[in-house]
């Protein structure tokens, strides 16, 4: 049943199979410890829910040296003593192939999509290789809406610990929702179902060599699906329990890749988001239930310490990105002596993100520098969120996130005016004007935007 690691290129290997209805992709790097469970869950899911379909499981590996590929190929579903009542009509093929090019999750996805297209798969799904909470039902929930309900893109919907997914909760979800008007709760969840039409669209794009090749891939996929009119839905998958990301990875770089992708896509889809007002729910499949979650330890003192030091050291850089009023408020936060009183409120946070988006577009400074300078501000926001929600339960935390989302939507006029260059000047320009270095003036629209 299982195929050995190919000697030829991965696409040539896929050609020997010739055709498959379903392709399930698993991007991996050093995941020998967890990948076997993921493979077993997928195998069981395919046997249980899609026995009449031909399927291929593709592991796209980034050069693991811990035996990840061997684990994928040698895992046997029988080892679990699982009693399968249904039996597949066709064998489930399994490939484990190394991808080439820029090392990263996006490059791994690209290879999976190429295999799916070559096999003319009707549906493709991708799942992370570090998942501990994946069950056979995930395969059904990610693939069935594509195969049987005509959806092109299935985003995951999980229960996560209140301090898990903080980039999602504080930036990516609310910003995507405010921009494109669709409430996709986990736009960078990492586990997706995709139709063959959408796979073809992804592959025909030519921006694979950017941050898309790395952690920018998830938001890139979601944004394209939303903005280009593909049918999208969500599937409730339960809890997302997974290993830590590669501990050796530069996590500031991860933030940079994700946020950089969001900002870059904002430029591309400017005409789309400019017109959209408010947001709407997205269809949700799956039966929702409560689950237990791994606790997450957070060191608030360390985050605040980093933020306070950055206020001293990065003031010059922030002055190029942030509007004068925003910078003033950020600096005043650093003066708060009491940790418990520290709050980076929703409105200020939204203005920070919008200011950064405009600075990114205007190239107010090098884009890499700009995005890296966001890290201390992001940590300050997370620290504030943790302090604010430490006694709250999940539903109350969700309300807080909902409030943040509405704040993003309410301040969209502020973004548009700054995006068009008619908003207030950055702190640096403002300073120069006050010093008489420049002449001419611009209307102050902050208040107008706030009042809107």
- Where along the sequence are the contacts to another protein (CB under 8 A)? 30, 33, 66, 160, 163-168, 188, 190, 215, 244-245, 247-248, 251-252, 254, 258, 296-299, 302, 305-306, 309-310, 313-314, 316-317, 320, 362-366, 368-369, 372-373, 375-376, 382, 428, 432
The whole-angstrom separation of Cα 312 and Cα 165 is 28
Kindly tell me which of 32 and 73 has the beta carbon lying closer to another protein: 32
Which of 44/320 has CB closer to another protein? 320
For the bound state, the minimum distance from the C-beta of residue 190 to another protein, rounded and expressed in Å, comes to: 8
Shortest distance in whole angstroms from residue 440 CB to another protein: 11
Q: Is the dihedral of CA 57, 214, 286, 238 positive or negative?
A: positive
- Please spell the DSSP secondary structure of 4-54, one letter per residue: PPPSS-HHHHHHTT---SEEEEEEESS-HHHHHHHHHHHHHHHHHH-TTS-
**Shortest reach from residue 441's CB to another protein, in Å:** 16
Nearer to another protein by Cβ, of 190 and 260: the residue is 190
Of the pair 46, 377, the CB lying nearest another protein is at: 377
Identify which of residues 122 and 369 has a Cβ nearer to another protein in the complex. 369
Q: Least distance from C-beta 369 to another protein, angstroms?
A: 5
Pairing of strands 232-239, 153-159: parallel
For residue 419, the minimal CB distance to another protein (Å) is 13
Closer CB to another protein, 38 or 359, in the complex: 359
b/e string for 396-415 if b means 16 or more Cβ within 10 A? ebeebbeebbbbbbbbbbbb
Residue nearer to another protein on the CB measure, 17 or 298: 298
Q: Which is nearer to another protein, 281 or 366 (CB)?
A: 366
Shortest separation between residue 430's beta carbon and another protein, angstroms: 13
Q: How far is it, in rounded angstroms, from Cα 56 to Cα 124?
A: 10
Q: What is the CA radius of gyration of the chain?
A: 23
Q: φ and ψ at 139, to 5 degrees?
A: -60, -45
The nearest distance, CB 129 to another protein, in angstroms, is: 15
Cβ-based burial of 277 (10 A; exposed 0-12, middle 13-18, buried ≥19): exposed
Q: How far is the CB of 313 from another protein (least distance, A)?
A: 5
CA dihedral 124, 128, 132, 135 (to 10 degrees): -10
Burial class (CB in 10 A: 0-12, 13-18, 19+), 150: exposed
Rounded to 10°, the helix 217-227/196-204 angle is 110
The H or E element that residue 265 is part of is: helix 251-268
For residue 341, give every residue at least 6 positions away whose Cβ sits within 8 Å of its Cβ, in sequence order, or none.
Answer: none
Q: Least separation, in Å, of the C-beta of 439 and another protein?
A: 12
Q: Which is nearer to another protein, 231 or 245 (CB)?
A: 245
């Amino acid at each position: 049943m299982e195929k050995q690691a190919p000697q030829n290129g991965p696409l040539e290997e896929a050609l020997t199979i010739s055709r498959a209805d379903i392709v399930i992709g698993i991007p991996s790097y050093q995941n020998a410890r967890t990948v076997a469970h993921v493979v077993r869950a997928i195998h069981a899911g395919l046997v249980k829910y899609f026995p009449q379909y031909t399927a291929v499981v593709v592991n796209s590996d980034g050069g693991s040296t811990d035996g990840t590929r061997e684990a994928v190929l040698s895992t046997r579903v029988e080892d679990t003593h699982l009693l399968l009542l249904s039996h597949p009509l066709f064998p489930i093929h399994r490939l484990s192939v190394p991808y080439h090019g820029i090392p990263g999750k996006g490059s791994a996805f690209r290879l999976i999509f190429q295999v799916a297209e070559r096999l003319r798969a009707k549906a493709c799904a991708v799942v992370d290789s570090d998942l501990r909470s994946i069950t056979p039902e995930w395969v059904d929930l990610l693939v069935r809406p594509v195969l049987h309900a005509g959806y092109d893109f299935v985003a995951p919907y999980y229960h996560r610990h209140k301090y898990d997914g903080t980039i999602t909760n504080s930036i990516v979800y609310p910003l995507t929702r405010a921009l494109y008007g669709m409430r996709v709760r986990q736009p960078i969840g990492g586990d997706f179902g995709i139709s063959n039409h959408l796979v073809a669209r992804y592959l025909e794009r030519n921006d694979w060599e950017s941050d898309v090749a790395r952690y920018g891939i998830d938001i890139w996929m979601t944004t394209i699906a939303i903005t280009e009119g593909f049918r999208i839905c969500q599937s409730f998958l339960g809890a997302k329990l997974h290993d830590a990301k590669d501990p050796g990875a530069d996590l500031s770089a991860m933030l940079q890749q994700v946020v950089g992708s969001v900002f870059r896509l904002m430029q591309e889809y400017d005409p789309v988001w400019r017109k959209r007002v408010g947001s709407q729910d997205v269809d949700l499949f799956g039966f929702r239930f409560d689950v237990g979650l791994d606790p997450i330890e957070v060191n608030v003192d360390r985050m605040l310490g980093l933020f306070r030091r950055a206020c001293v050291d990065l003031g010059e850089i922030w002055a190029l990105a942030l509007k004068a009023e925003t910078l003033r408020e950020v600096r005043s936060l650093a003066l708060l002596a009491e940790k418990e009183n520290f709050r980076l409120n929703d409105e200020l946070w939204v203005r920070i993100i919008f200011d950064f988006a405009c600075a990114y577009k205007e190239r107010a400074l090098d884009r890499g520098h700009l995005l890296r300078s966001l890290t201390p501000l992001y940590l300050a926001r997370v620290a504030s969120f943790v302090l604010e929600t430490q006694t709250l339960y999940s539903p109350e935390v969700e309300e807080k996130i909902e409030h943040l989302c509405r704040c993003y939507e309410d301040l969209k006029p502020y973004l548009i005016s700054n995006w068009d260059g008619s908003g207030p000047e950055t702190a640096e320009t403002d300073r120069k004007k006050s010093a008489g270095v420049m002449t001419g003036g611009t209307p102050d629209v902050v208040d107008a935007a706030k009042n809107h």
